[in-house]
A and B are shown apart, each in its own frame.
Chain A
Amino acid sequence: MKISVNVDGVTYADEVEARLLLVHYLRERLGKTGTVVGCDTGNCGACTVHLDGHSIKSCQMFAVQANGHEVTTIEGLARDGKLHPVQEAFRNNHALQCGFCTPGMIMQAIDLLADESDPDDETVRKGLEGNLCRCTGYQNIVRAVQDAAQRMKPGAGPKIEQHSDEHVTAQQPVGGE
C-alpha cells in the first residue's frame, strides 16, 4: 500500500506492506534507528514516538495507520545542533545507564510535560508508567524530567529568545475601544 508520512519534518512517500509495524518502517526504511525495539510485546515503551503530537508505542501500530499523519522521533528533537531541553536534562542528570530506554523515556517525558508543566515525583512516575528502564535508573530519570520542567518554564530560556511584555504591548494597535 502507498503511504505518505511526515517524519521529523520531512514527508516520505513509500510503498509498504500492510503488516509492517511503524517502528520497523522508521528503522529499516527510513534509517531512523534512534527509535529502538525493546520488548516486542508493547510493555517497555522504548519505541515511543509522537503521532500528531501525542506519544504512542510504534510497535503497537502499523505504518499504514500513520498514512497522512505526522510522526516525531527522538531524531527530530534537536534544533540546529542544539539538544532539546529534555535531552539536555537527561544528560546533565545522568538519567541513563545503558541508554536503551532513553529515546522512549525522553519522548514520553515531553508528552508528559505538555500536560503537566510542573509535575511532582508521583506525577512523573505515573506519566512514565509505560516505559521500563531495565537498569532501574528511575531516580535520576525522575530528576531529569523535573529539571527539564524548570528549563522549559516561561522565561527560563536564553535572554536572546525572551520577549518582554513591554515589547508585546508596544505592538498592540492603538486607539478604538
Chain B
Amino acid sequence: MIPAEFKYLCPSSVDEAVRMLIQEGEDAKIIAGGQSLVPVLRMRLAAPTALIDIGGLTELTGVRDDGDSLLIGAMTTHYEVQRDHLIQDHAMLLKLVTDTVADPQVRHRGTFGGSLCHADPAGDLLAPALALDAVMIIAGPSGRREVPASEFFVDYFETALAPDEILIDVRVPKYTGWGAHYEKLNRVAQAWSIVAVAAAVQVRGGTIAAARVGLTNVGAGPVRATDVEAALVGQPATAESISSAALRASSGDSYKDNLARVLTDRALMAAVAG
C-alpha cells in the first residue's frame, strides 16, 4: 500500500459525480485514466480524502462531429484519439501530438481531458488545445459552462476548474485540410518535452492563409505564439518567410528561448510540407 488511504467512489452519471464532489469537499479528486494522478498519489505528493472514479462514465468517451467543430469526450483515451478518423480529418495536429505522449501503455489508459485538467506545463496537449482555440465544456453544481482554452490554463498545474466541477467535453473547431506538425525535443524515450512546438498551417495557392502555433513547457502554462501567427499570414509558404516569422517565437536569449525559435521554424516547415 503505497498511497495514503482514500475513499473510493464510482458515480454512474456526471451529475452524480458533481454531487459527490460537493459532498466530499475540496479534498476530493476526480480520477480519469490516472496516469498522472496515480504516480502523484504513490509518491504521496497529494493525499486526497476521496477519489471519484469517472472511468465508468462511457458517455464521456468518443469523438463526435458537431458541424463546424468536433466534440471530444473528456474520457477519450490517447489511444482512441490517435486512431479516430474525425480527428485525422479535421484536427490532425491533435493526432500528431498525441502520438508523442508518454508510451503505448500510458496512452491506453491516459485520457485527453485528464491531461488538460492536470495542466502540467510540460504536458503535450495543452499547447495544441490553446493554439486550436479549444473550448472546455464543464459540468458543475449550477449546470454547464464553457471556458476557452485561453482562460482555462491559469497557472502551473492550475486550471479554471472549481473544486466541484468536471471537464466533460472539449470542443475543437475543424481545421480540415490544414498542414500540421508537432516538433518535440526530449532527451530520452518517454521523457517530458524540454520544449515542443505545435503548429497548424493553412496554405492556399502557395500563400499562408492562417497559422496556429502553441509552445509547450516555456512557461507556467502553454503559450500561444501570436506574433509568429500574425507574421505568417499573407506570406508565401517558403523557408525564408517561415524562418523570419519563427524568430518571433520568443525574444529572450536563454536556452529555452533559443529552442522555441528553432523548433518553431522546424514545426512550421514540416506543417507546410504536410
Judging by beta carbons under 8 Å apart, are A48 and B105 in contact? yes
Judging by beta carbons under 8 Å apart, are A19 and B104 in contact? no
Judging by beta carbons under 8 Å apart, are A54 and B108 in contact? yes
Q: How near does chain A come to B165, taking the closest CB pair, in angstroms?
A: 22
Give the interface of A toward B (CB within 8 A): 1, 17-21, 24, 40-43, 45, 48, 51, 54-57, 59-62, 64-65, 108, 111-112, 127, 129-131
- 6 interchain residue pairs of minimum CB distance: A130-B103, A18-B8, A54-B108, A19-B3, A129-B103, A129-B189
Q: Mark B25-52, 1 if CB is under 8 A from A, else 0.
A: 0000000001100110111000000010
Q: Mark B184-225, 1 if CB is under 8 A from A, else 0.
A: 000001100000000000000000000000000000000000
Judging by beta carbons under 8 Å apart, are B105 and A55 in contact? yes
* 28 cross-chain CB contacts under 8 A: A17-B5, A18-B6, A18-B7, A18-B51, A19-B6, A21-B3, A21-B42, A41-B39, A42-B35, A43-B190, A54-B79, A56-B108, A56-B109, A59-B42, A60-B35, A60-B38, A60-B105, A61-B34, A61-B38, A61-B109, A62-B34, A64-B8, A65-B53, A65-B55, A129-B189, A129-B190, A130-B103, A130-B106
Q: Which residues of chain A are within 8 angstroms of B108 by Cβ–Cβ distance?
A: 51, 54-56
Judging by beta carbons under 8 Å apart, are A42 and B39 in contact? yes
Q: Which residues of chain A are within 8 angstroms of B3 by Cβ–Cβ distance?
A: 19, 21
New A-B contacts (7) at CB < 8 Å, excluding given A24-B1, A129-B103, A130-B103: A19-B2, A42-B39, A43-B190, A59-B42, A64-B8, A64-B53, A130-B105
Q: Which residues of chain B are within 8 angstroms of A18 by Cβ–Cβ distance?
A: 5-8, 51
Complexed CA–CA distance, A45 and B108 (Å): 13
Judging by beta carbons under 8 Å apart, are B190 and A60 in contact? no
Chain B interface extent, by class: 20 to 34
Judging by beta carbons under 8 Å apart, are A17 and B1 in contact? yes
Q: How near does chain B come to A44, taking the closest CB pair, in angstroms?
A: 10
Judging by beta carbons under 8 Å apart, are B190 and A130 in contact? yes
Q: Which of B6, B8, B79, B106 contacts A57 (CB 8 A)?
A: B106
Q: How near does chain B come to A113, taking the closest CB pair, in angstroms?
A: 12
Complexed CA–CA distance, A62 and B8 (Å): 10
B273 within 8 A of A: no
Q: How near does chain A come to B186, taking the closest CB pair, in angstroms?
A: 11
Q: Which residue of B lies closest to A67 (CB)?
A: B10
Judging by beta carbons under 8 Å apart, are B42 and A40 in contact? yes
Q: Which residues of chain A are within 8 angstroms of B106 by Cβ–Cβ distance?
A: 42, 57, 60, 130
Q: How near does chain A come to B266, taking the closest CB pair, in angstroms?
A: 20
Give the interface of B toward A (CB within 8 A): 1-8, 34-35, 38-39, 41-43, 51, 53, 55, 79, 102-106, 108-109, 189-190
Q: Which residues of chain B are within 8 angstroms of A111 by Cβ–Cβ distance?
A: 104-105
Q: Which residue of A lies closest to B1 (CB)?
A: A19
A55-B104, A130-B102, A130-B105 given; A19·B4 CB < 8 A: yes
Q: Which residues of chain A are within 8 angstroms of B1 by Cβ–Cβ distance?
A: 17, 19-20, 24
Q: Which residues of chain B are within 8 angstroms of A21 by Cβ–Cβ distance?
A: 2-3, 38, 42
Q: Which residue of B lies closest to A41 (CB)?
A: B39
Q: How near does chain B come to A29, taking the closest CB pair, in angstroms?
A: 12
Q: How near does chain B come to A88, taking the closest CB pair, in angstroms?
A: 22
Judging by beta carbons under 8 Å apart, are B2 and A127 in contact? no
Judging by beta carbons under 8 Å apart, are A130 and B104 in contact? yes
Complexed CA–CA distance, A39 and B111 (Å): 23
Complexed CA–CA distance, A61 and B4 (Å): 14
Q: Which residues of chain B are within 8 angstroms of A48 by Cβ–Cβ distance?
A: 105
Q: How near does chain A come to B121, taking the closest CB pair, in angstroms?
A: 19
A19-B3, A21-B42 given; A65·B34 CB < 8 A: yes
Q: Which residue of A lies closest to B83 (CB)?
A: A115
Q: How near does chain A come to B10, taking the closest CB pair, in angstroms?
A: 8
Q: How near does chain B come to A72, taking the closest CB pair, in angstroms?
A: 13
Q: Which residue of B lies closest to A64 (CB)?
A: B8
Judging by beta carbons under 8 Å apart, are B38 and A62 in contact? yes
Residue from A1, A17, A20, A62 whose CB has the most chain B CB atoms within 10 Å: A62
Complexed CA–CA distance, A62 and B41 (Å): 11
Judging by beta carbons under 8 Å apart, are B39 and A60 in contact? yes
